[in-house]
Structure 1
Amino acid sequence: MNVIKTNIPDVLIFEPKIFGDERGFFFESFNQLVFEEAVGRKVDFVQDNHSKSSKGVLRGLHYQLPPFAQGKLVRCVAGEVFDVAVDIRENSPSYGQWVGIILSAENKRQLWIPEGFAHGFLALSEEAEFIYKTTEFYSPVHERCIYWNDPSINISWGLNEPPKVSEKDSHGELLIKKIKTKVE
């Protein structure tokens, strides 16, 4: 497994070694020891999620407040997405910066998004299936959303037309207002 650093040091790309022939392919999609060595700490995943989206669907930018902040190991198993992680750790030197990569069934890459980041993705193919592991359980009371088009973050989504977003995601907060440290 190749581990590729991004311009935000805590966000990592995991690129598997794929063994293929005329019968198909094989690759190791996850190895706890390799993963923990790459991220530099013990990580326990507690939940797996799976979504399906049509072309132009944009989900995010989601995060959860402590004590339910989630680290995510994400990948696209069918189709292609543009996946984004935004650093929302107030004391971080990369606060408000983002990393975006193409994840696809073809490239089989995964992105590690640690706790303290907002996450979102845009479906680029006609259909995209997206799966991810989380380090904490989903907690609706702790869930928050930053507006996908926040001008202070300025994510280059590469859109030619407005994305399809959920009602909840269309009412995201701006990053400048987002840091609410208490559950209301």
Structure 2
Amino acid sequence: MIEGVVYKKLLKHPDDRGSFMEILRDDDGLLRRFGQASYSMSYPNVIKAFHYHKKQDDIWFFPKGNAQVVLHDMREGSPTYKETQVFYMGEENQSILLIPVGVAHGYRVLGQEPAIIIYFTTESYQASDPDEFRISYDDPEIGFNWETKFR
């Protein structure tokens, strides 16, 4: 596991009326502070990658659709420096993922339906000074192959 990343499997409580699921609680101890909650929808086969932050941690949750989430540790001095890790998140695997400062992240929408991501951050977005640093999805240093491997 990349140093500082936390993966939490979510528990759904179904009954004859529907279902209930907690996503994030203050006593989970995951966010240093709360900054912002955001929502984004992406179409099938879209790749949104990579970016990282110097100030904020992110927590990602995909309530609809499915995604291949890729992390790459860019923190010099981290015991997992330059390691890449993949998570499969969404309707088929309901979970949340804490992505710490300095870990590049991105995702690819899987399947034929759009994916929705809800994410929580420790900082609010500042258009005048965005804490968002972009890296190409096909960056050769990361070297991640986004193609589905048919086995």
TM interval, short-chain normalised? 0.7 to 0.9
The AA in structure 2 aligned to 1:138 is Y
Larger relative strand fraction: 2
Gaps of 5+ in 2: none
Residue identity over aligned pairs, in percent, reads: 32
Structure 1 contact 64–139 (Cα < 8 Å) conserved: no
Q: CA deviation at 1:28?
A: 1.5
Q: Which runs of 4+ in 1 moved over 6 A?
A: none
Structure 2 contact 43–114 (Cα < 8 Å) conserved: yes
Q: CA deviation at 1:55?
A: 0.8
Higher relative contact order (CA 8 A, sep 6+): 2
Matches within 5 A, 1:165-176: none
| Corresponding residue of 2:67 | 81
Matches within 5 A, 1:1-184: 7-33=1-27, 35-36=28-29, 39=30, 43-65=32-54, 69-125=55-111, 126-140=113-127, 141=129, 142-159=131-148
Structure 2 contact 43–115 (Cα < 8 Å) conserved: yes
Cα distance, 1:49–1:107 mapped onto 2, change above 3 Å: same
Cα distance, 1:28–1:143 mapped onto 2, change above 3 Å: closer
TM-score (normalised: structure 2) = 0.86
The AA in structure 2 aligned to 1:75 is F
The AA in structure 2 aligned to 1:60 is A
Paired with 2:56 and 2:70, the residues of 1 have a C-alpha distance of: 15
User: CA RMSD for the aligned pairs?
Assistant: 1.9
The AA in structure 2 aligned to 1:134 is T
Structure 1 contact 88–118 (Cα < 8 Å) conserved: yes
Paired with 2:102 and 2:85, the residues of 1 have a C-alpha distance of: 14
Larger relative helix fraction: 1
